Structure 1
């Protein structure tokens, strides 16, 4: 499958130099090279749009309001699935696909927001005459209003079981490789649960990102929107990191000049890429699901683990912090959300309290008078 199709363009008032849609998209993406994470996210959405246009024999200039609706339906159900949907693969792999699964409503909205920005840029560049996304503003707002609480997370009992399972040591006599992968997997899941990183942030983390100031440890991370943040490192994370560093033959705590990656390949040196980390976490979910299945455990737990993605770990971390009583203002800083209402979607404890209070609003249940019903032949009286 081609990554960026080439479609000839015939605009008359161009303010850029480009021969086709692929080249102009490339120029737009060049505006975001300073933030690797933003660049990857925007490239993904642009590729999906261009590949869909190629399949429809259309160009960027052909998109109107009606075709925009068709594209949104496509995001919700990319068909034929064998052409569009597949497991994570390196971008150069012949089995690479632009989708891992159909997009949820929230993911579709995010895609449309990114592409609206693209079309605003295309209009300014003179590549297209109008921005069709501006005609769907009300629809996007309604879609946003339909977003409720976060549901894609592991509930506490399942997480507790998973963490115990992850901590089972290898069998006696296991190879050094088995011990290495066991330590690494514990660190990956502990890192994800304790610091709530995005997967790209975990993959790019360096030892020197963990710093100590006035006796307190912080994790420095450049996240979404190229924003720098410092997140408190809890004692359990320091302990996990220390065990991992000992296994690598390093000192217990990081030094300020250590540029080596936190998560490493089997050689103990090279870093892990986003896709490799994604596959490791998904593989762990599948292994855990098989463990429960073999023990004839709960089908719901098995189904949840097989449905879970690495991003569920971030949702799980933030949700469990909220349930533990972390204040919303600190929760938002850990999650690095720009809006408090985004973080508030993780406050499931509030939903539980709501349920309990509404349960006190009751009806007085009066048993039916069966004798009277028999006397009038069972007919209802008005």
Structure 2
């Protein structure tokens, strides 16, 4: 079985499917050993319309794109089916396939789906649908499995609402428990250790010192993601929200706040610490701006290094952060902290948000952290409190095997 081609481009490169009906790429059609189902073009159009409806939420778009891509590739290339034919038993077969996809469907490095060649977007031959760390076997985590059920259920509900299908086959899976495990206690929060964060921010400062025209921006991005618990989508311009310098605002008591719009299109104010305010001053001065924003200032928050305006792609922010992570990982290895370096190699941008929340919840009232983080309830914030877990381990530390 050949490795599949990518189906959906980035949000920035994806045309409006209602104005410009999407077309399956000739590369994809040529790579198939047998013809795709007759209704594959309709399947692709419905999936594109569903995805495009999330264009105001880049993180959701990216997560849904991944899951739909996996499902459509399995449906066409492995099962030889189309959307109207999918039944409960097919979804169960898909889950089993996802647990152990073919080796040539699994990649060990993150690469873009499409490349620019002579003004055209072409499929990247190195791209693979499933990812694993280098030299590590692929495994499907419980969170990834839960995401599959969640995204597919949303997609099939959409098709039912649009009168494309009569019923949602995900809802007919009565025993999801055989796939999804219930976990006692709270999930472990994926975050940086104190050592890792110290090295990461130190590397960001070094990069800003060595190449200020590029990396003063890097230092500010790292500071904002950690100190204000921002999601990566809250730093980029979208149809929903354009982050500007004027969204840093001072109240009548002289306190600074940052206004943003996050998950669920919810607006919130984030309290700005003294350190974050110093980071803002430094960043603005490096750009030739006044030390602090003026009321209503429309200057883009995260500027492009080339051209005008602000960054519009979460991929660019992820790239900025990854360069800093890579440098910190190398530094940890040089210093002999191999275990810390190896764990840092697994880190993603979102770990910075988790790290900032986890540190603050040790010292600040959880309600204050909850509101700054934009959590819907204190129960979500409680997941970041490690006191009970640490105490449980401490009480077991001297438990003897041989009394």
1:98 CA displacement: 4.7
Question: Could you say which residue in structure 2 is the equivalent of 1:244?
Answer: 283
Is 1:94 paired with 2:123?
Answer: yes
**Structure 1 residues 303 and 84, CA, compared in 2 at 3 Å: closer, same or farther?**
closer
Is 1:105 paired with 2:128?
Answer: no
1:251 CA displacement: 0.6
Q: Is the 8 A contact 2:270 2:373 kept in 1?
A: no
Q: Which runs of 5+ in 2 are unaligned?
A: 9-23, 25-35, 115-120, 133-138, 238-242
Q: Deviations over 1:211-259 (max 9, x none)?
A: 2222221111111111111111111111101101000000111123322
Q: Is the 8 A contact 2:369 2:381 kept in 1?
A: yes
Question: Could you say which residue in structure 1 is the equivalent of 2:31?
Answer: none
Q: Is the 8 A contact 2:106 2:130 kept in 1?
A: no
Is 1:228 paired with 2:271?
Answer: no
Question: Could you say which residue in structure 2 is the equivalent of 1:187?
Answer: 220
Deviates more, 1:253-262 or 1:90-99: 90-99
**Structure 1 residues 137 and 8, CA, compared in 2 at 3 Å: closer, same or farther?**
same
Question: Could you say which residue in structure 2 is the equivalent of 1:125?
Answer: 162
1:84 CA displacement: 6.2
Question: Could you say which residue in structure 2 is the equivalent of 1:375?
Answer: none
Question: Could you say which residue in structure 2 is the equivalent of 1:162?
Answer: 200
Q: Give the Cα separation in 2 of the matches to 1:206 and 1:163.
A: 24
2:232 maps to which of 181, 193, 199: 199
1:150 maps to which of 188, 194, 217: 188
SS at match of 2:257: strand
Is 1:28 paired with 2:50?
Answer: yes
Is 1:3 paired with 2:7?
Answer: yes
Question: Could you say which residue in structure 2 is the equivalent of 1:374?
Answer: none
Is 1:312 paired with 2:345?
Answer: no
Question: Could you say which residue in structure 1 is the equivalent of 2:77?
Answer: 55
Is 1:135 paired with 2:172?
Answer: yes
Q: Give the Cα separation in 2 of the matches to 1:245 and 1:268.
A: 18
Q: Give the Cα separation in 1 of the matches to 2:322 and 2:170.
A: 35
SS at match of 1:20: helix
Q: Give the Cα separation in 2 of the matches to 1:71 and 1:165.
A: 43
Q: Give the Cα separation in 2 of the matches to 1:227 and 1:155.
A: 30
Q: Give the Cα separation in 2 of the matches to 1:65 and 1:314.
A: 37
SS at match of 2:268: strand
1:283 maps to which of 323, 344, 356: 323
**Structure 1 residues 353 and 87, CA, compared in 2 at 3 Å: closer, same or farther?**
same
2:303 maps to which of 264, 267, 276: 264
1:58 CA displacement: 1.9
1:275 CA displacement: 0.8
1:358 CA displacement: 4.7
Q: Give the Cα separation in 1 of the matches to 2:193 and 2:392.
A: 18
1:329 CA displacement: 2.2
Q: Is the 8 A contact 2:54 2:61 kept in 1?
A: yes
Q: Is the 8 A contact 1:193 1:317 kept in 2?
A: yes
SS at match of 2:310: coil
SS at match of 1:319: helix
Q: Give the Cα separation in 2 of the matches to 1:363 and 1:84.
A: 44
Q: Is the 8 A contact 1:156 1:320 kept in 2?
A: no
Q: Is the 8 A contact 2:208 2:216 kept in 1?
A: no
Q: Which runs of 5+ in 1 are unaligned?
A: 11-18, 367-382
Is 1:332 paired with 2:373?
Answer: no
Question: Could you say which residue in structure 2 is the equivalent of 1:45?
Answer: 67
* Structure 1 vs Structure 2 CA RMSD: 3.1
Q: Is the 8 A contact 1:87 1:100 kept in 2?
A: yes
Q: Give the Cα separation in 2 of the matches to 1:115 and 1:365.
A: 51
SS at match of 1:168: helix
SS at match of 2:164: coil
Q: Give the Cα separation in 1 of the matches to 2:213 and 2:344.
A: 24
